Amino acid sequence: MTYPYQVTDFAGYELAYKRSIEDPEGFWGDIAANFTWKRKWDKVLEWDFLRPEIKWFNGGKLNITENCLDRHLEHSGHLPAIIWESNNPEEHHRMLTYKELHFKVMQFANVLKNNGVKKGDRVCIYMGMIPELAIAVLACARIGAIHSVIFGGFSAQAIADRVHDARAEYIITSDGAYRGAKDIPLKSVIDDALVGDHTVKRVIVSTRTRTPVSMIKGRDVWWEDEIRKVETQGNPFCAAEEMDAEDVLFILYTSGSTGKPKGVVHTTAGYMVWTNYTFVNAFQYQPGMVHFCTADIGWITGHSYIVYGPLSAGGTTLMFEGIPTWPDAGRFWEIVEKYKVNILYTAPTAIRSLMGFGLDYLEGKDLSSLKVLGTVGEPINEEAWHWYNKHIGKEKCPIIDTWWQTETGGVLISNWAGVTPAKPTFATLPMPGVQPCLVDDQGNEIEGNGVTGNLCIKAPWPAIIRTTYGDHERCRQTYFSTYPGKYFTGDGCLRDEEGHYRITGRVDDVLNVSGHRIGTAEVENAINMHAGVIESAVVGYPHDIKGQGIYAFIIYSGTHGDIQLSKQDIVQTVSRIIGPIAKPDKIQFVPGLPKTRSGKIMRRILRKVAEGDFSNFGDTSTLLDPSLVEVIRDGRV
């Protein structure tokens, strides 16, 4: 497969960018013409950010799996689509060619149909990183069902909230998942999530760990049994459902500054074009390259750059079940050597963590296949950037720093490998079609270079969020009302003298812990569930490896006396309500929280205490009880 829209020099990037702004419809129409459509679109773009209503390629009909699978069969059917590396280095790897993946997706799509799943139905998927996860995702898309993947680290309660919000009647899971030294009993977590539930009709369970599970009669079926039924039915074919360009492809839940996670909705055609275009251009993917994105498919990075981007480009995507530090910190490097990985895309947290293990684990590893390195999910610090460049890229691989969000569907700001200039810690320049701007708190646009502000985007790109599932008003309020007429990212940003963008972190109450987004309100709600907690406030603080750690200030009335045990109980509660990723790193019991007379918590003060910066608490005169500040400061943990 070739990519006529792949740009390979800076002048080409500038030209593409210019045309994408002056003539977006012509620009994206030309790119979209390279895909397989069942019917051409009537209009490339219609939009109104105030409602918001955004339609790309309206009137077009297609199925994304024909673009990810069928269209590659003739020339690339024998080529590897997915290479899978087990958590266990001793276990044999798996490889699925395009032909095999196509077959398996159709087979499982028939399983879904046999089990009553129809176009538009929501299917929650809660699995580990095994090829069946990708197959399940694509099988949903094949028949027009809407997938909502839930990261395997979320708790039963978090699953229940998501299943309920998506009004999902179908769940796909596994008996368990391997992650490093741990076995995660996925099916049992699903069972806990579904206690008292009467809406889920079917749970399809694939076999991975052979952990004992309880299969509920009439509701639960085994993946493998259902495949055998399809085999005996004899027809391996499953036609790709004709989807409107704007039909929903998937829902993915993400945290925001209010308590409840929201279901970010992406639609079919725009998302497909965007993930493909950004994959081919930012990473400079060439046919035959092995692309290793270390994210989990439970996050947007996995959706866009393990599944849809690489497969729509006919590429080879590597899926890794395990974690970077197990059985030891050389795991990534073994994988790079074993599969001659060409592109490595990972999070700064992983880089910092591996950096901490020293260079011994790199000893004797052949990383010479690497051509491009990427980072995503959080700001990368200089030290980690240089380590990645020197020890992994051997100073010959461009590093792309890709800034984007669940809501943006794919990369919005990034350098392009070897094509546009890289600058450590900078995401640098916008993708074609992306018009970033910085605004002050009053919403005035800040012009010129060498300035900082809140990052907004002025016009839609094809993979912009369309709505938040079941609550369009929430989408409008969260992203389109703070600065009317603009999409607000929630991030702070610097535009340097050269016009390059550097993302400085969230400006709202959202934390970024190890590249995972966690809302402070969500953690507070979970902490407040603990019987002894009266009130809590959560802030982030700089953490050497995770980027940000979670610091909780808690007013506690528990009586059983052992402070350490009480803190552990609270951590346990958060783990139960959200999942281990949201566990507070530090807990401080306080007699009160610094509130203004109107009852608002002055988080600025808490942040300073958490950071250990006592230099200047600013004006505290509006506090109800200014003396609390000293008490909290002195009790810092």
Interface ranges with ligand PRX (CB under 6 A): 254, 300-301, 376-379, 401-406, 427, 489-491, 503, 506, 512, 517
Smallest distance from ligand PRX to CB 410, Å: 9
Smallest distance from ligand PRX to CB 353, Å: 17
Smallest distance from ligand PRX to CB 49, Å: 18
Smallest distance from ligand PRX to CB 293, Å: 11
Smallest distance from ligand PRX to CB 295, Å: 8
Smallest distance from ligand PRX to CB 482, Å: 14
Count of C-beta atoms within a 10 Å radius of residue 448: 9
Smallest distance from ligand PRX to CB 367, Å: 22
Smallest distance from ligand PRX to CB 502, Å: 8
Buried b (16+ CB within 10 A) or exposed e, 522-540: bbbbbbeebebbebbbbbb
Nearer to ligand PRX by C-beta: 206 or 405? Answer: 405
| Inter-CA distances, 609 with 122, 392, 602, 619, Å | 44, 37, 12, 15
Smallest distance from ligand PRX to CB 407, Å: 7
CB 593 within 8 Å of CB 605: no
Which residue do the tokens 């009302």 mark?
A: 481
User: Beta strands of 385-514 (E only): which ranges?
Assistant: 399-402, 436-439, 445-446, 451-457, 467-468, 487-495, 501-506, 510-513
Residues linked to residue 94 through DSSP beta bridges, in sequence order: 84
Nearer to ligand PRX by C-beta: 240 or 319? Answer: 319
Residues linked to residue 587 through DSSP beta bridges, in sequence order: 552
Nearer to ligand PRX by C-beta: 254 or 275? Answer: 254
**Helical H runs in 317-459?**
331-339, 348-356, 382-387
Nearer to ligand PRX by C-beta: 405 or 573? Answer: 405
CB 192 within 8 Å of CB 156: yes
Smallest distance from ligand PRX to CB 479, Å: 11
Buried b (16+ CB within 10 A) or exposed e, 395-414: eebbbbbbbbbbbbbbbbbb
Q: If you ran DSSP here, which 8-state letter would residue 420 be given? A: S
Nearer to ligand PRX by C-beta: 63 or 346? Answer: 346
Smallest distance from ligand PRX to CB 140, Å: 21
Report the alpha-carbon distance of residue 174 to residue 156 in Å, rounded: 14
Residues in Cβ contact with 133 at an 8 Å cutoff, skipping those fewer than 6 apart? 125, 127, 149, 297, 319
Nearer to ligand PRX by C-beta: 268 or 301? Answer: 301
Tokens standing for 324?
A: 């970077």
Q: Which of 496, 495, 492 shows the shortest CA–CA distance to 512?
A: 492
Smallest distance from ligand PRX to CB 491, Å: 5
Report the alpha-carbon distance of residue 606 to residue 540 in Å, rounded: 9
CB 494 within 8 Å of CB 502: yes
Nearer to ligand PRX by C-beta: 241 or 401? Answer: 401
Tokens standing for 511?
A: 């934390």
Nearer to ligand PRX by C-beta: 454 or 525? Answer: 454
**Helical H runs in 340-477?**
348-356, 382-387, 472-475
Nearer to ligand PRX by C-beta: 314 or 379? Answer: 379
Tokens standing for 477?
A: 């309020």
Nearer to ligand PRX by C-beta: 506 or 608? Answer: 506
In one letter, which amino acid is 416? W
Q: Quick one: how many helices (H) and strands (E) in the chain?
A: 20, 31
- Could you check whether the bond before residue 580 is cis, i.e. omega within 30 degrees of 0? no
Nearer to ligand PRX by C-beta: 145 or 150? Answer: 150
Count of C-beta atoms within a 10 Å radius of residue 229: 13
Residue nearest to ligand PRX (CB): 406
Smallest distance from ligand PRX to CB 277, Å: 16
Residue 97 φ/ψ, nearest 5 degrees = -75, 170
Q: Which of 401, 603, 378 shows the shortest CA–CA distance to 491?
A: 378
Smallest distance from ligand PRX to CB 317, Å: 17
CB 399 within 8 Å of CB 385: yes
Nearer to ligand PRX by C-beta: 379 or 594? Answer: 379
Nearer to ligand PRX by C-beta: 353 or 566? Answer: 353
Q: Which of 241, 267, 313, 245 shows the shortest CA–CA distance to 67?
A: 313
Nearer to ligand PRX by C-beta: 61 or 303? Answer: 303
Smallest distance from ligand PRX to CB 396, Å: 22
Nearer to ligand PRX by C-beta: 122 or 516? Answer: 516
Task: Using DSSP bridges, classify how beta strands 436-439 and 451-457 pair: parallel, antiparallel or unpaired.
Answer: antiparallel
In one letter, which amino acid is 95? M
Tokens standing for 32?
A: 């979209």
Report the alpha-carbon distance of residue 281 to residue 156 in Å, rounded: 39
